[in-house]
Amino acid sequence: MPSDTSQILKGMSRTADAGLVKERRAKIVAGAVRLFAEQGYERTTVQEVAREAGISTGLVYQYVRDKEDLLLLSILDVLESYATEIPAALEGAEGPLQRCRATFAAYCRVVDARREATLLAYRSTYSLPPERQRFIKDAEQKTNRLIGGCIQDCIDEGLFRPVDIDLATYQVVMYAHAWALKHWHFVKRTDLESYISEGLDFFLHALLTDLGRKVP
């Protein structure tokens, strides 16, 4: 199995036009996510995804081999978004604590923008064969290292107390994912930015040292 997302995506596509690949892939993924969310992965066909995306079934098969590819692309789309949007959010953030705040907020915003795909990952990853499940897990771990690195930097600077980086990272991940998993509940009483602010308050109070509390 390829170790890099771009390699597996390149392997799925049979056209060399990078711009066209990106545009069509976005339509296909959006259509697949909507239908998988509405009627379930097992009940959805490639033909239905093609209709939802507004393209022919034959064209879909230029980008994917089967429905498993569609599911994999849909889940990878979320993971790719973390990998691109978190670093972008860090631009201009000065100091490890500011970078940690920016990373937390960016992760939550990606989840909000792709709530259906986040739910899909929880519900349907098991439908993929073991090697593809491992690929998704590896991609998730790569994303998690962006969060863990920020936490580690704060510990190294004496701003956070020493903690298990992996456990702390997954606390952040699960908090962000809860916005999608329990959105039906949270949306009745708060908005995304308040959810982010409350979450940061929880985590920072749990982690900050006396030195960290002095940082604006």
pLDDT tens, the chain, 216 aa long: 344 445 554 445 555 566 777 788 888 999 999 999 888 899 999 999 999 999 999 988 888 888 999 999 888 888 888 888 888 888 888 899 999 999 999 999 999 999 999 998 998 999 899 999 998 999 999 999 999 999 999 999 999 999 999 999 999 999 999 999 999 999 999 999 999 999 999 999 999 999 999 998
Q: Which pLDDT does position 199 carry in this prediction?
A: 97
What is the spatial distance between Cα 207 and Cα 104, in angstroms, rounded to a whole number?
Answer: 14
What is the spatial distance between Cα 119 and Cα 140, in angstroms, rounded to a whole number?
Answer: 15
Nearest CA to 173 among 117, 73, 103, 124? 103
Q: Which pLDDT does position 99 carry in this prediction?
A: 94
The owner of tokens 């969060």 is 147
CATH number for domain 5-213, candidates 1.10.357.10, 2.40.10.10, 2.60.40.1120, 1.10.3720.10: 1.10.357.10
What is the spatial distance between Cα 149 and Cα 120, in angstroms, rounded to a whole number?
Answer: 27
Q: Which pLDDT does position 1 carry in this prediction?
A: 37
Helix (H, G, I), strand (E, B) or coil at 160: strand
